[in-house]
């Protein structure tokens, strides 16, 4: 059942206040009536209202000043100004100051009912329409899934006037919070049971929480399967309505569309990249022999120029040799991506591997005067992994981070036990950051933003982590920096 719409009424005439309270109650509204403007402001700070009626002429705070103060606490609250016939011009001025409409005294019941109903309805539909338009535009812009889910969380919080909104997605055998809006003292893991219940039920659920809070959850259905849930936590003074649940379902459907689109795009892209990798691997194989011959000829020419004392010729053959080596390295990378070697797993200390890789890039660290912060947890232990392959990943991440930073930047490397079965490592820089468009294509084969890049480093890094049964995620903000996080199973 829907709760009654709540109305706050303020008038310094106790008789008018009493009459209004009776009329509004008979219309089905839950009325809070007071002659004290300060008491009204106190009420606005502790609970939500669907509409308010303020008398224009009051002391010491008039209706216009009270409207401004009310909107400072509840910006979308529709306020109707009550006025006598002789002060309609002032009431019109009040509308310019943010009031929704005005009512003339003495009141006509149908006018009172009609304007209040319109105020409540216009407020909800104007608000919801704008929020849904924002989410829809974000979805249509081909933005990243993270950005769409963030828009869903923020839009839901505003539309339902809740305390916090969280989008949970199922990954492996657990629910992971992927986007949130608002703040609350409740830990995120305590909202997960509501998400689990909505997924299990395949429908909306309402659960009680701490301090009288209520938690609502709606599943994100992708192709008929619940893949996550949209969860909102209401403060104790906000009572959810059927309209709120309907709106929650609409926003959840937007999140589900974003998730479905992202997965379909990933599937299509993976197939295309796999095919491209196979073709590139065949081409690379055909290039190996000619490149080996070119490298040999370059060395022979260099020896002849040295014998002849031709320093310019020596420099030219150096350039040829470097170009050939670059092509050979590219061929090696393409082959590694298209035909990855079989993993040779053995117990490997992730911390020791990180220290080894850091030593290999020490010259770059010194040249740029980079500050390296190592926060390697001593209790991470070992992972069952191919150390040679993981070394490629770490070196790629370190070099990318160092190249992204200006001199005197900070490189932070962390390791920790995510849980009993998983070890987490992260590489964080204070570089230029990555925009959404670039981040969406970072794992595309041959995509690069570097002048001399091959566009193979990150695809190979993800491929290695995937083959270890782990995951690689990137968080970045342009102008702030980038954090790459790797999760690896211990066994």
* Domain-wise residue ranges, the chain: 6-128, 140-266, 268-338, 346-489
pLDDT of residue 57: 86
Tens-digit pLDDT profile for residues 58-81: 888 888 899 999 988 887 788 998
Establish how many alpha carbons lie within 13 A of residue 264's alpha carbon, considering only the half-sphere containing its beta carbon.
Answer: 9
Omega within 30 of 0 (cis) for the link into 377: no
Given a contact cutoff of 8 angstroms between Cβ atoms, the answer to whether 29 and 99 are in contact is no
Residues with Cβ within 8 Å of residue 220, at least 6 apart in sequence: 167, 169, 226, 227, 228, 229, 230, 252, 255, 256, 259
3-state secondary structure of 420: coil
Report how far apart, in Å, the C-alpha atoms of 80 and of each of 7, 104, 116, 428 are: 11, 10, 8, 53
Record: fold of 6-128: Rossmann fold (3.40.50)
Report how far apart, in Å, the C-alpha atoms of 484 and of each of 278, 433, 471 are: 27, 11, 11
pLDDT of residue 142: 44
pLDDT of residue 406: 92
Return the CATH number of the domain spanning residue range 346-489: 3.30.565.10
Can you tell me the distance from the alpha carbon of 129 to that of 127, in angstroms, rounded to the nearest whole number? 6
Output the six-digit token pair for 106. 């003495």
Can you tell me the distance from the alpha carbon of 330 to that of 322, in angstroms, rounded to the nearest whole number? 12
For domain 140-266, give the CATH superfamily.
Answer: GAF domain (3.30.450.40)
Listed residue (125, 220, 206) closest to 178, CA to CA = 220
Listed residue (77, 66, 54) closest to 124, CA to CA = 77
pLDDT of residue 141: 46
Can you tell me the distance from the alpha carbon of 340 to that of 342, in angstroms, rounded to the nearest whole number? 7
Residue ranges of alpha helices (H) inside 27-108 are 37-44, 63-73, 88-96
Report how far apart, in Å, the C-alpha atoms of 440 and of each of 108, 179, 261, 266, 443 are: 59, 17, 13, 10, 8
Listed residue (10, 125, 7) closest to 66, CA to CA = 10
Output the six-digit token pair for 377. 């947890």
* Max CA distance (Å), the chain: 114
pLDDT of residue 48: 78
Can you tell me the distance from the alpha carbon of 67 to that of 98, in angstroms, rounded to the nearest whole number? 7
Fold matches, 6-128 and 346-489: no
Class of residue 344 by CB neighbours under 10 A (exposed 0-12, middle 13-18, buried 19+): exposed
Residues with Cβ within 8 Å of residue 484, at least 6 apart in sequence: 397, 401, 426, 427, 428, 472, 473, 474
Tens-digit pLDDT profile for residues 282-309: 766 677 778 778 888 888 888 888 888 8
Backbone angles phi and psi of 411, in degrees to 5:
-110, 120
pLDDT of residue 73: 87
Can you tell me the distance from the alpha carbon of 24 to that of 29, in angstroms, rounded to the nearest whole number? 6
Q: What is the mean pLDDT of each run of 10 residues along the chain (491 residues)?
A: 75 89 89 92 86 89 90 86 71 78 83 83 57 52 63 73 82 82 80 89 81 80 87 69 72 78 68 65 71 82 87 84 74 67 86 90 88 90 88 89 91 88 91 83 73 74 85 88 90 76
Residues composing the chain:
491
């Amino acid at each position: 059942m829907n709760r009654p719409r709540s109305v706050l009424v303020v008038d310094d005439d106790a008789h008018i206040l009493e009459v209004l309270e009776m009329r509004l109650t008979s219309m089905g509204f839950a009325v809070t009536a007071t002659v004290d403007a300060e008491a009204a402001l106190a009420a606005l700070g502790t609970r939500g209202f669907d509409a308010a009626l303020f008398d224009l002429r009051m002391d010491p705070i008039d209706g216009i000043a009270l409207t401004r103060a009310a909107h400072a606490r509840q910006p979308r609250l529709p306020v109707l100004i009550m006025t006598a016939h002789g002060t309609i011009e002032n009431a019109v001025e009040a509308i310019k100051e943010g009031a929704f409409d005005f009512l003339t005294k003495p009141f006509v019941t149908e006018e009172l009912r009609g304007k209040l109903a319109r105020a409540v309805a216009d407020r909800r539909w104007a608000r919801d329409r704008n929020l849904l338009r924002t989410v829809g535009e974000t979805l249509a812009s081909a933005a990243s899934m993270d950005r769409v889910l963030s828009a869903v969380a923020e839009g839901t919080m505003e539309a339902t006037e809740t305390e916090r909104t969280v989008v949970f997605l199922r990954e492996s055998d657990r629910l992971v919070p992927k986007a949130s809006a608002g703040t609350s003292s409740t830990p995120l893991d305590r909202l997960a049971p509501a998400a689990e219940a909505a997924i299990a039920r395949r429908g909306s659920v309402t659960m009680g929480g701490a301090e009288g809070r209520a938690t609502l959850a709606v599943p994100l259905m992708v192709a008929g399967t619940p893949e996550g849930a949209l969860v909102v936590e209401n403060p104790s003074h906000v009572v959810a309505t059927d309209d709120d649940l309907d709106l929650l379902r609409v926003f959840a459907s937007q999140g589900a569309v974003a998730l479905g689109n992202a997965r379909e795009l990933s599937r299509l892209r993976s197939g295309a990249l796999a095919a491209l990798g196979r073709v590139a691997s065949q081409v690379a194989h055909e290039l190996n022999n000619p490149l080996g011959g070119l490298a040999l000829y370059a060395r022979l020419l260099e020896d002849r120029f040295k014998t002849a004392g031709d320093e310019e010729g020596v420099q030219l053959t150096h350039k040829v040799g470097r170009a050939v080596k670059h092509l050979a390295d590219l061929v090696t990378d393409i082959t590694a991506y298209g035909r990855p070697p079989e993993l040779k797993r053995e117990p490997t200390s992730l911390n020791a591997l990180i220290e080894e890789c850091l030593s290999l890039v020490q010259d770059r660290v010194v040249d740029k005067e980079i500050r390296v912060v190592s926060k390697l947890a001593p209790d991470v232990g070992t992972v069952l992994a191919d150390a040679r392959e993981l070394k490629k990943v770490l070196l790629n991440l370190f070099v990318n981070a160092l190249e992204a930073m200006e001199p005197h930047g900070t490189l932070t490397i962390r390791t920790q036990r995510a849980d009993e079965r998983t070890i987490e490592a992260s590489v964080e820089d204070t570089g230029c950051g990555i925009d959404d468009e670039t981040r969406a294509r970072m794992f595309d084969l041959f995509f690069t933003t570097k002048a001399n890049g091959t566009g193979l480093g990150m695809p190979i890094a993800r491929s290695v982590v995937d083959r270890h049964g782990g995951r690689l995620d990137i968080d970045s903000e342009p102008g702030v920096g980038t954090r790459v996080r790797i999760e690896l199973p211990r066994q």
